[in-house]
Amino acid sequence: MQDRLLKLGVNVDHVATLRQARGTDYPDVVAAALACEAAGAHGITVHLREDRRHIQDRDVHALRQALRTRLNLEMANSPEIIEIALAIHPDEVCLVPEKRAELTTEGGLDVAGTIEALRGPVDRLNAAGILVSMFIDPDPDQIAACAAIEAPCIELHTGTFCDLPADARASELERLMRGARQAHVLGIQVNAGHGLNLENLSGIFDVPFMDTLNIGHSIVSHAVMVGMQSAVQAMLEAMTAYQGGTP
């Protein structure tokens, strides 16, 4: 398969987590995002949660004004957040499941089980010219449901793969590969993310047709030691080994 550029979206949520821990005005989320862009990131991802535990409304507005690349807004299918997205007009939104007690997003969105609740918001976002992505497990029914509601993009949940021991990942890797192939046949853009770091990243390089990886926690954690630009550059360098997967 011909080599393809694998793009990186850096999630800067946990820069805001550090700020919110002390109620200060630093570290600056916008400054962190601009450092990611300067290092070569292809876009910036933030999750505006209903509980506002890290990213705040003002962050999204400021990022929309400051970014030179793409803004990807992760969000629940919440009427309030949908209206914010339509007003701010990010380049992309990614609908994710959200529970107040979780430490981070746990598993993919049940598109197949909530298809009617999702159809209207997806139609509105599509009509506004915002690329709509669904954060889902690599399940054929979920991918088919994304096609049914005309979501043009999915983000495959890689967290299950990453949480498994290295010698027990083969089955989950095959699920990711099958899911990417199915989405590609349906004309759906394939992104991926959750739990990826420099150690496990190459394990998903057999997954074909991937366009963008959205990675946050591991990059921000690495940045504590080496700085944001160096952490982003290290991830980008690791991603150059992707040759398009196994079609």
Q: Is the pLDDT of residue 1 over 50?
A: no
The model's pLDDT over 112-133, given as tens digits with 9 standing for 90+, comes to: 999 999 999 999 999 999 999 9
Please state, for a pLDDT cut of 70, what percent of the chain lies above it. 95
pLDDT digits (tens, 9 = 90+) for 17-39: 999 999 999 999 999 999 999 99
Residues marked as catalytic: 47, 74, 194
Q: pLDDT of 200-221, one tens digit each? A: 999 999 999 999 999 999 999 9
- At residue 98, the pLDDT reads 87
All structural domains of the chain: 7-239 (3.20.20.70)
H/E run at residue 8: strand 7-11
Note the pLDDT tens digit of each residue in 58-109: 999 999 999 999 999 999 999 999 999 999 999 999 999 986 554 555 689 9
CA trace torsion 118, 123, 125, 127 (10° rounding) = 180
Task: Determine the pLDDT at residue 2.
Answer: 45
Q: Is 3 left (phi over 0), alpha (psi -120 to 50) or beta?
A: beta
Q: How far apart are CA 151 and CA 67, in angstroms?
A: 25
Give the residue among 20, 15, 73 at the shortest CA–CA distance from 222.
15
